[in-house]
Homo-oligomer: A and B are copies of this chain.
Amino acid sequence: MLIYEFQAKALLQELGVVIPAGHLAETVDETRVAAQKLGGQVILKAQILSGGRGKAGGIVAADSAEKAGLAAARLLGKKLITAQSGGRGLVVKKILVEEFVPPGREIYLGLVVDRKNEKLAAIVSQQGGVEIEELSKSCPQAIKKEYFYPEQGLLFFQARNLAYFLDLPEASFKTFLDYLKKLSEFFLLRDMKLLEINPLIIKPDNLLVAADIKMDFDDSGLARQPEISALEDWSELSPEEKKARSFKLNYVKMEGQIGCLVNGAGLAMATMDIIKLFGGQPANFLDIGGGVTEEAVSQAFEILASDRQVKACLVNIFGGIVRCDLVARGLVASARKIDLNKPIVVRLQGTNEAEGRRILGEANLPFYFINDFEQAAQLAVSLSQA
């Protein structure tokens, strides 16, 4: 789970990491007042749950409270489309108004769960403010990593190795080690997946300021992290996403015309892939999961059917734990509630498939039953292009 920059900065500040002075603003007026308090010269940072804001115009400088207000007026309510936000973009509702930090050396500091090594990695680079993954390809020698065990934590010599690699001024050395220690402990304590300070600015007075921060928490750890769970902002979710979340459906919106309803993540991906293979475009990823209820199936189907981009639906169920008859009942319940004017291709395999088909058949709705995976996909594609 990603959290907002302003939330992450508040957490860091509690740890004793220096952050730029700043205030959160949700209106033009609040922005102006905040800028005034900060002396006029400020940076406005759109608060959205996605990286790549800068390039998308989400970060704006202003040299007076007046101009800050004008910039806020342009920013608030704007849809930002970043490299990571997906096509639909994210609406700016909050702005972090921060003091202007004069340029200085910028470094990168990251902590991450490293899947490949099955350890944690602390990563630094002398080049801050750039994308670390691109840097790791273009200039691997500019990056240093130290791997450590979660039960042991980052070792002191490892922190020192990183600090020497960065060739820090002596006056910043101890602070950097202190930051690393606190951040790595916080990372472990809070079940994080990723913590990035990028850039960490070395000010001319050698103060280390965390100018931008990204924090991502392990979703599986949230159950024991109530303080972190409480930071989740449901208002960022679309109504469909909210509905999906509340019914424990794995739903990701995409850009195509074919709504997919599948059980199992792998089969759901494969269903998307086969649609693409036959020239169609999936409108979503949707895995109804193993413990799904009739009600949840029904809600899932409503999400698809009410998507105006969707021209046809493909239901692909391989019954195992999930029973085909349960899915069928959910579909029928939903189709009766909404005005179903889209063709639905249904493939049911496995547990109780016959019963499922019987239920759907009796419902007198625009279902196409296809037993073969490939034919089902082909039909869905051609229906979506009709």
Contacts and interface: CB of A to CB of B under 8 A. Distances in A.
Interface string A343-380: 00000000000000000000000000000000000000
A220 interface: no
Majority secondary structure, A binding face: loop
Contacts of A151: 149, 151-153
A153 B149 CA distance: 14
Contacts of A152: 151
As for how many copies of this chain the complex holds, the number is: 2
A149 B149 CA distance: 13
A153 B151 CA distance: 9
A151 B149 CA distance: 10
A151 B152 CA distance: 5
A153 B153 CA distance: 13
Contacts of A153: 151
Interface in A150-168: 151-153
A274 to B, nearest CB: 44
Contacts of A149: 151
A223 to B, nearest CB: 16
A235 B86 CA distance: 73
A149 B152 CA distance: 10
Interface in A127-152: 149, 151-152
Closest 4 A/B residue pairs (Cβ): A151-B151, A151-B152, A149-B151, A151-B153
